[in-house]
Amino acid sequence: MDLSKYTLEELFVTAIKAEIDSREAYSILAGITKNAFLKDRLRFLADEEDKHQTFLEVKFKKHLPNIELTLPEYSPVPLPGIDVSDETVPISQILQQAMDAELAAYDFYVEFAKFVHDKHDLVLTLGYFAKMEQGHYELLKIEKASAEEFEEFDEYHPLMHAGP
């Protein structure tokens, strides 16, 4: 991912917007899933994204003190999102979208850190965020495998949940 054509402001705006969008998606998913374990993990991810957003806003103010933070409808740097608008899409497919978004966020933070190589505090923060996004990916990967197993079983045994 080449970020050289973007400004520091655009990179911060992209990061903050991505964290907000991910938090919203995870919150929506947590609200609709019936699986208590997945619900807890999705709430955890939403909380993580919220913390990232807050920390990025603090760093934005520190490194761009004369610029007011304004978030556009779409991020300057295109990153994959998580579409939770269609309730008929299997959860495993939505989790795959989330995994793709987390990997893209990892790449973005690694490159963002290279972009600000002379700002040591920011480099450390972005490197830490990259590792966290990688951890989120791994968590989602496990949940996706579980969801696929359940979806496959439900597909082959449609009356499994039917009571007497």
pLDDT (tens, 9 = 90+) of the chain, 164 residues, equals 899 999 999 999 999 999 999 999 999 999 988 888 889 999 999 999 999 999 999 999 999 999 999 998 888 898 888 888 888 888 889 999 999 999 999 999 999 999 999 999 999 999 999 999 999 999 999 999 988 887 665 554 555 555 45
**Structural domain 8-79+88-156, CATH architecture:** Up-down Bundle (1.20)
Burial 26-52 (b: 16+ CB within 10 A, else e): bbbbbeebeeeebeebbeebbebbbeb
Q: What is the number of helices (H) and of strands (E) in the chain?
A: 4, 0
Dist. CA 103–CA 138, nearest whole Å = 10
How many Cβ atoms sit within 10 Å of the Cβ of residue 130? Answer: 19
84 close to 94: Cβ distance less than 8 angstroms: yes
d(CA 80, CA 103): 9
DSSP three-state, residue 45: helix
**Which pair of structure tokens corresponds to residue 95?**
């989790």
